[in-house]
Amino acid sequence: MSTPDAPGIDFDQVYQGKPVVGAAGLVPWDIGEPQPALVELEHDGEIRGEVLDVGCGLAENALFLASRGYRVTGIDFAPTAVERARERARARGLTAAFTVGDATRLDGFDNRFDTVLDSALYHCLSDEQQPGYAAALHRACRPGATLHLFCLREQMVLPGPRAIGEENLRTTFGQGWRITRLRPASYTTAFTRRVMEEISEALPEPPDPAALDEIPTDDRGRYRMPVWQLTATRLP
């Protein structure tokens, strides 16, 4: 997940180890494995053809798909993320293409992809960027291609990206796309209770500790972020 917008966050420095809201060296969206929701989509046969992972970050999702035999391209705005993604691919003996680029333009990728994955990029884009992003995805996809998008649904307890409303998604992807699924889901983060407490203590106005108890976790104690799961088909 990287974007040219997201005021106040230098994503390239994050991938170099700069702390995000106090979590030194921890990339919140990099969990060292693919997102469980993506694994489920692949298991259910909802990934097909040539795949674009837009805002690929450190590429655990892209490399999972490459390991399953898909031809995958990852694009990210942060050069450090792309270099580290390439290193991970080499270390695992996997073939995937990674490139530095602007997700709101996707220059050079016209009419190419059958599936697109947006794993927590969209909520980092500004209102002004979002329509252009949807149009860029449309150009990069073949007719009938599928978009799988996950974005923040509710504001988080700690400082972070802004939540996205349902109407925003329906408006942005109301032209050139047919939304086939839009439902609440969850997104696994690298944050545990201990990490969240450390971050809270570093804030000028820490949240109520009781609020941390209300955040759902997985079986390894990692917090799960409330997101929208959108699936859409690219119209001709």
When pLDDT is averaged across residues 201-206 and rounded to a whole number, the result is 75
Between CA 200 and CA 177 the distance in angstroms is: 40
3-class DSSP state for residue 189? coil
Between CA 10 and CA 45 the distance in angstroms is: 36
Write out pLDDT tens, residues 126-148.
Answer: 999 999 999 999 999 999 999 99
Between CA 152 and CA 132 the distance in angstroms is: 19
Asked if the model's pLDDT at residue 32 lies above 60, the reply is yes
Asked if the model's pLDDT at residue 1 lies above 80, the reply is no
The structural domains of the chain, ordered by start, are 26-190+224-234 (3.40.50.150)
- The pLDDT, as a whole number, for residue 135 is 98
- The pLDDT, as a whole number, for residue 25 is 66
Least confident of 5-14, 37-46, 171-180, 224-233: 5-14
Structure tokens at 65: 């798909």
Between CA 9 and CA 7 the distance in angstroms is: 6
Least confident of 17-26, 58-67, 206-215: 17-26
Between CA 96 and CA 60 the distance in angstroms is: 11
